[in-house]
Each structure stands twice: as C-alpha cells, then as structure tokens.
Chains A and B, each alone.
Chain A
Amino acid sequence: MSFVQNFPFFSIILAMFSGIVSSVLKGKKARVLSVCAISVTIFMSAAVLAYCAATGESYVYWMGHFPAPWGNEIRAGVLEGLTALLFSAIMLLSVIGGVKYTQTDVEPSKQNLFYILIDLMLSSLLALVYTNDLFTAYVFVEINTIAGCGLIMITQTGRSLTAAIRYMVMSSLGSGLFLIGLSLLYDVTGQLLMSPAQEAVGKIVESGQYEIPLLVIVAVVSVGLAIKSGLFPFHYWIPDTYGYATPTASAILSSLVSKGYIFLLIKFYYRVLSPESVVRSHIGNVLFLFGVAGMMVGSLRAIMQTDTRKMIAYSSVAQIGYIYMGIGLGTPEGMIAAVFHIFSHGATKALLFLSARGLYRVSGDRTDFLALRGSGYRNRLAGVGFLVGSLSMVGFPMLSGFISKLLFATSAMASPGKTLTTLIALAVSTVLNAVYFLRLLTGLYRPARSGAYAAGAGPDGAAGEQINGLGFRMAVLCLIAFNLILGLFSQPIVRAITEGLAMFS
C-alpha cells in the first residue's frame, strides 16, 4: 500500500485534531493552526488526486482492522480527490479573505470557537466527500449542521440568531428524513456500507421485492438532502442565513456546505443505487422540475431585493436549481455539468460574498443599492472582484459560469424530452441573472449621489490598499484567478470529473 493512500484519512483526522486543540488556544493561534491545517489538506488532496489519476482507479481504505461489511471504510478516487482539493482551496481563501471581518464581527474571546467550527466544518466536508459508509455520512452531516449553525450565529446580532434558528429547524428536518431513509435502507438490505448495500439493492431490484420501500428510500433521502442544500421549495432559510453571517461564514455556507450535501446525494445515487434505478424511479424528473422552478423563482426574487446581500443569497437559490436540473436530466453528461457547476458556483459565490463585504465597508456598512453607488471606485479591488463574480454568474465567456452553462446546454441536447425545457430555462435564467447583476454593477460604477465618501477612502480614513488587508487582497485575486482557470482550462477538469464519475459505478 502506497503512503499517499493514507492521505484522505490523514486530512480528515488532521482537521478534527486541530479543532480539538484549538479549544485551548487563543484566537490568533487558533487561526494560524486552522490556516495551516487547511493548507496541508490542500496539499494532501492534490496528492490523492494525482495518485488516483496516475493509477487510473479508486481504492477503499479500512478505518480499522476489519473489512467492508463489518468495519468503517473511506474511499478515494479522482472525483473525491478533485472535490476535496477544490473544497479545501475555497475554504482557505474564504478564511484568509474574511480574517479582518471575522475579527470585527466576532467577540474577541470567541475567536477560537470560530476557528474550531471552521476546522470541524472542514473535517465533516472531507468526510462527506470521502466516505464509503452511509452511517459515517450521517454522523458527519450532524457535525456539519451544528457547525453551520454556530458559524451563522457567532456574529450574535438578532437577525443572525433568527437565521440560525431557521437553519437549525430546516436542517434538522433534512437530517431526520435522511436518517429515516437510512433506517429503511438498513431494514431492507441489512447493510450500511455503500458497496455491499449496492449489491443488496441490485438483488432486491432483480427480485422485485420491497419495491415500495425502495421508492420511499430514494424519495426520502433525496428530499432530505435537497432541504439541506436549499432546493427551491425549501429555500426559505437561505436569504437570512447567507445574508447576515460574517463573510467567511457566508462564503463557506453557500459555496461549500450546500455542495457537500449535493455531493453526498450524487454519491448515494451512484454508489448505493445505480444510475439506472434512479432513472426508473422518476425522482430525477421531480428534481429537474424543482431545479428549473428554483432557477426562475430564485432569480425573480433576487431582482426584487433592495438589500444586495439578500440579492446574492437569492442568486444562490437559482444556482442550486441549476445543479439539481443537471442531476435531474438523468444522463451522465447532465451529471458532469452539475458537478462542474458545484465547483464553478463555489468559486464564484465565495468571491461575491467576500468582495461584496469589501464594498459595504467603504459604503458605511450599508447594503442597499443607493449606498453602494460608486463604491467600485472607492474600493477598486473589491469592485473588480464583484465584477468578475457577477459576470461569471451571468455566463460571460472565459469565466467559469460560461463553461457550466455550455455544459448544461450540450447535455440537454442528449436528453430527449427535456431538451427544450432546459434550453428555455437556461436562456430565461441567464437573462434574469444579467438583469439583477448588471443593475448592481452599473450602480457600482456610477458616481455617488451625495459627496459623502471621498474617492478611495474608507470609513476610518484608510486610503487605497489599506482598506483591504493583505489576506483579503490575496483571497480576491486568487478567486479571480480560480474563476479564470475554470473558465479557460476547463477541459482537464471536465475530463477528471468524467473519469471520477466512471469510477463511482
């Protein structure tokens, strides 16, 4: 066994361990530890990706001395490595980009708690990506939910507390449904690990026994995870949650947490059920329908907002709709497009939330359209970041959003019966995206109505580069570069996703 194969396990344990140790550290040391742990995780995930790409096959890793149906297992392949790499990279950029705002938004004595939550969030995301065991997935879904609540409410204003309660209620509902699904699955198959469960499910499907429980399992797990990732009819927790958290938390919650659940759902479809039985159960059509509805409703609601934070949050509802639309197409191409959009939206939303906060900072911490007028001149880097992010969301060529839309459109061609709906939905949603993002962008580059803010000066008189800390500048530049890379050199990534999905089944 090659030493590299230990890395998935090392990265999960390292993130958990740094969270545990942070409980006795001061805020600053906890932050350094957290940043180090995430950086090491990036390196290890890259090594796993390189190893799996070189050998061309995935492998399972025993968590203990016992093999598959008895002990816990994790599994790594190209797609897992790629997802872990991109997730941890986005996490690192969100953390260092929001350092300054974390310091002001979070009580000084609770800074280390914030980084404990970040570390455990990372470990749970990695575990969701790597797990080969459904019950392990459930345990880490719990950690993920609790850490998410903590990240929302750590700013401790009234709004963030109500948002956290809302998130808690909806998320617990989702976890509960997921757990019911697992219990039913255990009852009819007697397995919790993914590979033996898949065999058992195959036998059940063949024999035609337990057809109804299997249908209910698919429905309950899909709905549970859809609630947790904020698919359209269950999206009411999203605007407050993303809108009132500190920027690091908003970026992580919108770009990573909801995507972790979607990744788990894809894994459930491929590794426990088979793609064919998912298509047969018609759950894909339901997800497709709600995905398309989410794209429309999310964009329309975003247009109606006066608060730009909520506008960005509603845009997330639309983007989650895109991903579920891709899953719902029921073809391998649709799935590839959905996975690519997970990455592309992750990179873009983190950029948008971070740079939006940079713009609020030079606008007296106000978030409405009027106050933001001309802020693109007052904080140039944040303005450029927001510009790139918005254009990518709209689908401007050379940026990552364009590639996702291209992939969605081409995959729609291959799925009979849904082609026209998908294409129309894509077109309408792109126009709607353009309407609300360009509205804000034109505002950012118009002169402010009142002469309240001198050009290039922050509220505390800091000028030019000093408005944004070093971390913010690095994070925004890296995320812009990330977007360009995803947009310009998408072929290797698409190939890796294709290869990884092939390894799943």
Chain B
Amino acid sequence: MSKRKSPQELGGYLKFKRWLAGDLDLLEDVTEDAVPAAAPESADRLPARDSALESRRRASEEVYGPEVWPQSHTPGYAQAWRDRVALQKGAGDAQAVLQAQEKSLQFFRAVYKIMAVLLCGAIILVFLWTTVHLPPFGSPDNPANNEVPARYIRHGVEETGATNFVTGMILDYRAFDTFGESCVLFIASCCVQVLLRVDACDGKSAARTRVQQENDRLFEPKNDGILQQTARLLVPLIMIFGVYIILNGHLSPGGGFSGGAVLGSGLILYLNTFGFAKTERFFNERVYRRMTLCALTFYCLAKSYSFFTGANHLESGIPLGTPGAILSSGLILPLNICVGLVVMGTMYSFYTLFRKGGM
C-alpha cells in the first residue's frame, strides 16, 4: 500500500479534491497508486480461478494484443485485492466477502437469463397479438392490393418493356432503391477488406509473415481426381446457367442478384478445385476492382441520366424494344448485367478474403 491515506480515511473535502485532480475513481474504492491502471467497471471484477483466467488472458493477448486484457483479471490483481480486503476487514472476513461477491455474480447471471427469456417471450406475444389484427392473408380486399401493384401488373410491360414484372419494378419503377442495394454489397465487401485483407505492400516483415501464415495455398488439394472431373463437368454448366439467368432477367424469373450468386458459386467451385494459381490467371484483385468499378459506374451514370430526365419530364430516348425479345426493355438488361457482376465479385471476394486475406 502507498503512504497516502485510503479513501475511507479521507474527509469529504479531501476526497473531492483528489477526485478533481483525477487521482480518485468513484467506482473503485482504491486509489490509482495502489493499482496502476484502473480496471473498467466489469461485473466479474473478482476472478475465481486464476489458472483458467490465465489461459483466457493468453488467448486474448494472441487475438488483441497485450493492452486489452483488463488488469483486474490478472491473478496478481486478485491477490492484491484479497490482501487489501484482508487488511481492512481481517483475514477471516476476506473469504466471506469473496464468497458474497461470487454469489451476487451468480445471482446476477441467473436473473439475467430469466429476464432475457421473459423479454423475448413478451416481444413474441406482442407480435403474435398484432398478427391477429392484421388483414387476413391473401384476401383480395387487403389494403396492399391497391392501385400500386395494379399499375405494375397492367401497365408494367408497356412502361418498362420487361415481361418479368419484378425486374421491371426493381430496375425501373424503384431503381434508386436497387442502386442503394448494390452499394450495400459494395460497401460490405469494402468492410470485409478492412477487416481481413492482409497487405504486404508496406514492406514490413511482420505483415509479410502474416501473409505467409494465413496463406493456406500449400494445403490445397492439388490432384483430387474426383473433384476435378466433377468440376470440369459442372463449372461450365453453372456458369452458363448463371449467364442465362442474368440475360433473361427481364423475360423470366431471375435477374442480376440471383444470376450473380450462381456465377459467384461457380467461380468458388473452380477455385477450390484448381487452386489460386489457375484462377488468378483470369480473375485477380485488379480484375475484380476494375469490374466492380465499371459495373457500378455504368449503373450510376445510366440511372442518373434516367432519373434526371424523369424528374425534369424529358424524354429519355432509350428504346424499349419489343417486349419478350432478348434485346428489349431499355436499360434493364445492361443494369442486370452490372448487378450480376457486382454480386459475383462480392461473393468471390468474400470467399477469398476469408480464405487467405486477399485475392
């Protein structure tokens, strides 16, 4: 213990003065001098088993670095705390205080579980109760069956040129939302890159070793005959099917989102079978970036033109073509291709980023 008086012995004014100076933490009943870095206000301030904590600490250090593990969780801290309690209250009481703390913690956890279950039950009940009062499912008189879907169905083909109403709706009537959705995919892949991409370009040796460690190319199956034969058969079919879904998005069920997902899974299968070396010959990070850039730029410019002309009541001058033909429905076909490319790239980049931290 330090030479300073403990807070219990200080008068009110002195205590305030110390707190004002930043020495004293109101939550702790110790001064900062006694325990260097003050512990955050965690409920389990008093660790029960030091050895288990020690292993958790090591795990935390591996993941987060040494600074994160709170001081209060280290065995030494627990011992210091026990000593202090013993000093203040006598050795016999110390054990009792510890047990009381342990008990209150267990009590808290039990109450927490019960409350969580009760809360979830209450929310479920409220929603079930609401559902009873909603319009009956599938009834023709529902409020949702108003003039909005009526126009989509009756005039959708002549106004958008797409025989698939859903595509006409998401890529023409409500194209701004869909542009937002493509940006959601784009920003999601950016965030995964923030989190997982391992960059060696700054020349730090630490980064290079990280790349080495996280690169599992060495463990790839090189000559898995069954997989390769199956993939030779399946991958072209999957890719053609994906392209078909995208190109026919305005004619039949499908479109950029679903077709892009099929294309992405085909690429992932190819990668798993033949390895990174072969895939990177035609699809690496540079290709991915340029593809996403081109697709989103085209989407952005084309739709900006369409929004601008629409809002200013100008003719857009884009021919809608014959409904049902493959080259029809104005901008919808190129937009579907853009969305498909973005979805494919996002799926593939997620996979490679999780696999080895880069493309």
Most interface-central of A5, A63, A150, A210 (chain B CB within 10 A): A63
Q: Tell me which residues from 137 to 177 in chain A have a Cβ below 8 Å from any Cβ of chain B.
A: 139-140, 142-143, 146-147, 149-150, 153-154, 156-159, 161-162
Contacting residue for B173 out of A66, A186, A369, CB 8 A: A66
Q: Mark A1-33, 1 if CB is under 8 A from B, else 0.
A: 100011001000100110111011000000000
Residue A471, interface by CB 8 Å: no
Q: Tell me which residues from 49 to 73 in chain A have a Cβ below 8 Å from any Cβ of chain B.
A: 61-66, 69-72
The interface residues of chain B lying within 8 Å CB-to-CB of A200 are 143
Residue B99, interface by CB 8 Å: no
The interface residues of chain B lying within 8 Å CB-to-CB of A108 are 202
The interface residues of chain B lying within 8 Å CB-to-CB of A370 are 21-23, 32
A184 touches B130 (CB 8 A): yes
Q: Mark B177-199, 1 if CB is under 8 A from A, else 0.
A: 10111011011101101110101
The interface residues of chain B lying within 8 Å CB-to-CB of A188 are 134-135, 143
A1 touches B142 (CB 8 A): no
The interface residues of chain A lying within 8 Å CB-to-CB of B146 are 69, 190-191
Q: Tell me which residues from 100 to 145 in chain B have a Cβ below 8 Å from any Cβ of chain A.
A: 126-127, 129-130, 133-135, 142-145
Q: Mark A434-454, 1 if CB is under 8 A from B, else 0.
A: 000001001100100000000
Residue A387, interface by CB 8 Å: no
A139 touches B181 (CB 8 A): yes
B22 touches A69 (CB 8 A): no
Residue B176, interface by CB 8 Å: yes
The interface residues of chain A lying within 8 Å CB-to-CB of B300 are 13, 16-17, 20
**Which of B62-70, B71-79, B86-94, B260-268 has 4 or more CB atoms under 8 Å from chain A?**
B62-70
Decide yes or no: A116 and B187 within 8 Å by CB, A24-B293, A210-B133, A369-B22 being known contacts: yes
A135 touches B177 (CB 8 A): yes
Contacting residue for B22 out of A139, A149, A368, CB 8 A: A368
B175 touches A72 (CB 8 A): yes
Q: How far is the CB of A244 from chain B (nearest CB, A)?
A: 10
A120 touches B183 (CB 8 A): yes
Residue B274, interface by CB 8 Å: no
Q: Mark A21-47, 1 if CB is under 8 A from B, else 0.
A: 101100000000000000000000000
B311 touches A9 (CB 8 A): yes
Complexed CA–CA distance, A180 and B124 (Å): 13
Complexed CA–CA distance, A303 and B16 (Å): 12
Decide yes or no: A64 and B173 within 8 Å by CB, A108-B202, A442-B20 being known contacts: yes
B174 touches A135 (CB 8 A): yes
Complexed CA–CA distance, A446 and B68 (Å): 30
Residue B312, interface by CB 8 Å: yes
Residue A478, interface by CB 8 Å: no
A72 touches B202 (CB 8 A): no
Q: Tell me which residues from 346 to 395 in chain A have a Cβ below 8 Å from any Cβ of chain B.
A: 368-370, 372-373
Contacting residue for A6 out of B68, B147, B312, CB 8 A: B312
Chain A: interface residue total (CB-CB under 8 A): 77
B21 touches A369 (CB 8 A): yes
Q: How far is the CB of A78 from chain B (nearest CB, A)?
A: 20
Contacting residue for A117 out of B133, B190, B306, CB 8 A: B190
Chain B contact residues: helix, strand, loop or mixed: helix
A113 touches B23 (CB 8 A): no
The interface residues of chain B lying within 8 Å CB-to-CB of A117 are 187, 190-191, 194
Q: Tell me which residues from 283 to 334 in chain A have a Cβ below 8 Å from any Cβ of chain B.
A: 303-304, 306
Residue A88, interface by CB 8 Å: no
Residue A213, interface by CB 8 Å: yes
Complexed CA–CA distance, A186 and B146 (Å): 11
Complexed CA–CA distance, A14 and B308 (Å): 13
Give the residue name and chain of the B residue nearest to A140 (CB): B180
Residue B212, interface by CB 8 Å: no
The interface residues of chain A lying within 8 Å CB-to-CB of B184 are 139, 142-143, 146
Give the residue name and chain of the A residue nearest to B156 (CB): A70
Give the residue name and chain of the A residue nearest to B188 (CB): A146
Q: How far is the CB of B13 from chain A (nearest CB, A)?
A: 15
A107 touches B310 (CB 8 A): no
Decide yes or no: A72 and B130 within 8 Å by CB, A65-B316, A117-B187, A153-B194 being known contacts: no
Q: Mark A325-345, 1 if CB is under 8 A from B, else 0.
A: 000000000000000000000
Residue A415, interface by CB 8 Å: no
Q: Tell me which residues from 141 to 175 in chain B have a Cβ below 8 Å from any Cβ of chain A.
A: 142-148, 151-152, 159, 172-175
Decide yes or no: A1 and B311 within 8 Å by CB, A16-B300, A154-B194, A212-B133 being known contacts: yes
Q: How far is the CB of B75 from chain A (nearest CB, A)?
A: 21
A212 touches B183 (CB 8 A): no
Contacting residue for B310 out of A64, A154, A210, CB 8 A: A64
Bin chain B's interface residue count.
35 or more
Q: Tell me which residues from 97 to 126 in chain A have a Cβ below 8 Å from any Cβ of chain B.
A: 107-110, 113, 116-117, 120, 123
Give the residue name and chain of the B residue nearest to A180 (CB): B127
A139 touches B23 (CB 8 A): no
Residue A273, interface by CB 8 Å: no
Complexed CA–CA distance, A366 and B170 (Å): 51
Residue A258, interface by CB 8 Å: no
Q: How far is the CB of A13 from chain B (nearest CB, A)?
A: 5
A63 touches B297 (CB 8 A): no
Give the residue name and chain of the B residue nearest to A160 (CB): B64
The interface residues of chain A lying within 8 Å CB-to-CB of B202 are 107-109
The interface residues of chain A lying within 8 Å CB-to-CB of B135 are 187-188, 210
Q: How far is the CB of A158 from chain B (nearest CB, A)?
A: 2
The interface residues of chain B lying within 8 Å CB-to-CB of A216 are 126-127, 130
A9 touches B307 (CB 8 A): yes
Contacting residue for B134 out of A16, A64, A184, CB 8 A: A184
Q: How far is the CB of A298 from chain B (nearest CB, A)?
A: 15
Q: How far is the CB of A233 from chain B (nearest CB, A)?
A: 11
Q: How far is the CB of B40 from chain A (nearest CB, A)?
A: 8
Decide yes or no: A63 and B311 within 8 Å by CB, A16-B183, A70-B173, A143-B183 being known contacts: yes
Residue B309, interface by CB 8 Å: yes
Q: How far is the CB of A441 from chain B (nearest CB, A)?
A: 11
A107 touches B187 (CB 8 A): no
Residue B277, interface by CB 8 Å: no
The interface residues of chain B lying within 8 Å CB-to-CB of A143 are 180, 183-184, 187
The interface residues of chain A lying within 8 Å CB-to-CB of B134 are 184, 187-188, 210, 213
Complexed CA–CA distance, A188 and B159 (Å): 28
Q: Tell me which residues from 269 to 302 in chain B have a Cβ below 8 Å from any Cβ of chain A.
A: 289-290, 292-293, 296-297, 300
Residue B38, interface by CB 8 Å: yes
- What 13 new A-B contacts, CB under 8 Å, besides A70-B151, A212-B133? A6-B312, A64-B307, A65-B306, A65-B316, A66-B172, A113-B194, A123-B183, A127-B180, A153-B194, A184-B134, A187-B144, A189-B143, A216-B127
Residues of A within 8 A of B (CB): 1, 5-6, 9, 13, 16-17, 19-21, 23-24, 61-66, 69-72, 107-110, 113, 116-117, 120, 123, 127, 133, 135-136, 139-140, 142-143, 146-147, 149-150, 153-154, 156-159, 161-162, 180, 184, 186-191, 200, 210-213, 216, 303-304, 306, 368-370, 372-373, 439, 442-443, 446
Residues of B within 8 A of A (CB): 19-23, 25-27, 32, 38, 41, 60, 63-65, 67-68, 126-127, 129-130, 133-135, 142-148, 151-152, 159, 172-177, 179-181, 183-184, 186-188, 190-191, 193-195, 197, 199, 201-202, 289-290, 292-293, 296-297, 300, 304, 306-313, 316
By Cβ-Cβ distance, the 8 closest A-B pairs, closest first, are A158-B64, A369-B22, A139-B180, A65-B310, A109-B199, A72-B176, A150-B191, A190-B144
In the complex, 29 of the A-B residue pairs with CB atoms within 8 angstroms, ordered by the A residue number, are: A13-B304, A13-B307, A16-B179, A20-B183, A20-B292, A20-B296, A20-B297, A23-B186, A64-B176, A64-B306, A66-B173, A69-B146, A70-B151, A71-B310, A72-B176, A110-B197, A120-B186, A133-B176, A140-B180, A158-B64, A159-B68, A190-B144, A190-B146, A191-B146, A212-B129, A213-B130, A304-B26, A443-B21, A446-B21
